[in-house]
């Protein structure tokens, strides 16, 4: 096995809110793993505090949120707030799930660089993460 001097990109994939299933989130997690990244997967029903605290403890460069419930405009800003209150202002944020086009500008405005709807090619997400993840260590 080859020693890679470059540490893999670390990504947190989380599901805020009360969504019951996480198929989409798992597909993204696996795709990023297969692209050589380390994906911390926390499961469903995460509060904004839990997501931000996990991002802090895991020192991830990227946080991806998946949401189906329609509560994104309420929950996403709270995640950003919780991250900021922990001094985390240098992670790449992206979102996936069911997000109406009309809501995308508002989500972009609070710092989510990428928003990926259902049916997105996972290669597009991989490319997005590789191209935008901030450097570490």
- Rounded Cα distance between 129 and 132, Å, is 5
Q: Report, in Å, the least distance between residue 11 CB and another protein.
A: 10
- Rounded Cα distance between 30 and 38, Å, is 10
Binding window for another protein (CB under 8 A); candidates: 32-40, 66-74, 93-101, 105-113: 32-40
Q: List the one residue from 18, 21, 36, 85 that touches another protein (CB under 8 A).
A: 36
Q: List the one residue from 18, 21, 59, 118 that touches another protein (CB under 8 A).
A: 59
For residues 39 and 107, which CB has a smaller minimum distance to another protein in the complex? 39
Q: List the one residue from 34, 121, 124, 127 that touches another protein (CB under 8 A).
A: 34
Q: List the one residue from 33, 78, 113, 130 that touches another protein (CB under 8 A).
A: 33
7 binds another protein (CB under 8 A): yes
Give the rounded distance of the alpha carbon of 2 from its chain centre.
Answer: 29
Nearest residue to 17 (alpha-carbon basis) of 37, 40, 46: 46
CA distances from 15 to 1, 40, 49, 76 (A): 34, 12, 12, 11
């Amino acid at each position: 096995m080859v020693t890679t001097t470059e540490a893999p990109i670390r990504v947190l994939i989380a599901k805020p809110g009360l969504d019951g299933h996480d198929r989409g989130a798992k597909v993204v997690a696996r795709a990023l793993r297969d692209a050589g990244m380390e994906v911390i997967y926390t499961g469903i029903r995460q509060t904004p505090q839990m997501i931000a605290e996990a991002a802090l403890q895991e020192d991830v460069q990227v946080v991806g949120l998946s949401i189906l419930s329609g509560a994104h405009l309420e929950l996403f800003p709270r995640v950003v707030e919780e991250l900021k209150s922990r001094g985390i202002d240098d992670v790449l944020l992206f979102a996936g799930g069911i997000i109406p086009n009309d809501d995308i500008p508002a989500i972009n405005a609070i710092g989510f660089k990428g928003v990926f709807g259902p049916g997105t090619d996972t290669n597009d997400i991989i490319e997005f993460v590789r191209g935008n993840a901030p450097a570490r260590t």
